[in-house]
Amino acid sequence: EVQLVESGGGLVQPGGSLRLSCATSGFAFRSYWLSWVRQAPGKGLQWVAIIKGDGSQKFYVDSVKGRFTISSDNAKNSLYLQMDSLRVEDTAVYFCAGGLGWTSLYWGQGTLVAVSP
C-alpha cells in the first residue's frame, strides 16, 4: 500500500522557518518525482517545488525561489521542504505528492502551515 504522510506544519511568525517532512512507503522512491503542492485558505492548488527521488534535479515556483529548499533522502524514502523567510502569503495546507513523471499519482493528506504575527 502506498503511503505519504506529511509532518512539521505549525504556526510561525513572518520571517521564521519551518521544515516539512513527508515519509513515504510502497513505491520506488528513487525513480519517482516528488512534489510539494499547497492550498491557501479558500484558494486552489498551487505547485511549489519538485525533485527527482534521487535528488538529481529540483525545480521551484518563482515565488519561493531562494526561500524554500526541497530535498530528499532516498535511504529513508523521505521528502523535505525547508521553508525560510516565511511570509503571511505562505499560509496554506502543504501536500506532498509523487509520480513517475511530473504528474502526481500519489498524495498525502497535507499539513497546515500558518504564518501570522
Partner 1 sequence: EIVLTQSPGTLSLSPGERAILSCRASQSVTNNFLAWFQHKPGQAPRLLIDDASTRATGIPDRFSGSGSGTDFTLIISSLDPEDSAVYYCQQCAHLPLTFGQGTKVEIK
Angle at 86 (CA atoms; ends 81, 101), nearest 5 degrees: 30
Tell me: does residue 98 bind partner 1 (CB under 8 A).
no
Cβ at position 18, least distance to partner 1 in Å: 20
Give residue for cell 538529481: 56
Nearer to partner 1 (CB atom), residue 45 or residue 88: 45
102: exposed, middle or buried (C-beta count within 10 Å: 0-12, 13-18, 19+)? exposed
State the Cα–Cα distance between residues 13 and 10, nearest whole angstrom.
10
Contacting partner 1 within 7-36 (CB under 8 A): 35
Q: Please tell me whether residue 111 binds partner 1 under the rule CB under 8 A.
A: no
Residues that bind partner 1 in the complex, under the rule CB under 8 A: 35, 37, 44-47, 50, 59-62, 95, 97, 99, 101-105, 107-110
